[in-house]
Amino acid sequence: MSSQFSPGEISSIIIAWLVLSIAITYQNFVGLFTGIGSLEIVIAGFVATATGFIIHEMGHKFVAIRRGYVAHFRLWMWGLLLTLFIVVFSRGGIVFGAPGAVYIAPAAMAAYGYDSTYRPRDPEQENMVISAAGPGINLAFAIAFLSLLLAVPAGFLSTIAIFGFELNVGLGSFNMIPIPPLDGSKIFRKNLLVGLGLALPLWAMFFILFTIGI
């Protein structure tokens, strides 16, 4: 089986990860060069974006591949530039994170070497399952980071847990809003129970996080 990553795809994923990680830790990242930034917070930000954004997108990708589709991560150059522009000119006060996404085509092609014998029968069902993979990963990581936060004392691991929890809850909650082209619109359209099963715990954690705090 050949690689399931197209030429340049891995470098695109790394660029998106770096840009988004720098964006959410901008003040501390810049501060590293002047001696006032926190390396601990920067590392926590990189871990958070790896789980909240990159693994979210890879969830879409590999579930799509498993179900017989061609799926590639592509950078959105305007989104990448806008992410950098906003964070630089707001000095880290505003973060707009849209550096790229996974694009899916209907049929797996042998030229890409995908190891899949599955072929879609109900396009809306397939779309729902593929869409649910991303927020489902966010929910799982949010619970894992919250468990870590409750289990460890204040320090480096708790910083990682806080960043990971906040980013996964934030991105997962946003993506479950039932408005196109967000994941939630495709999930709720096909199966209300699945949509509520993913959305309600994410929205509840979001409400607690941003009203009560952690």
Give pLDDT, residue 3. Answer: 60
User: Which of left, alpha, beta for 112 (phi over 0: left; psi -120 to 50: alpha)?
Assistant: alpha
pLDDT tens for each residue of 113-127: 444 455 557 888 999
Q: Look at residue 34 and tell me whether its pLDDT is greater than 60.
A: yes
- Average the pLDDT over 131-145 and give the result: 97
Q: Is 57 a catalytic residue?
A: yes
> How many C-beta atoms lie closer than 10 Å to residue 92's C-beta?
18
Q: Look at residue 153 and tell me whether its pLDDT is greater than 70.
A: yes
The length of the chain, given as a count of residues: 214
- Pair 209, 165: CB distance under 8 Å: yes
pLDDT tens for each residue of 53-106: 999 999 999 999 988 898 999 998 888 888 888 888 888 777 777 788 999 887
- Pair 92, 32: CB distance under 8 Å: no
pTM score, whole prediction: 0.87
Out of 57, 124, 126, 166, pick the active-site residue. 57
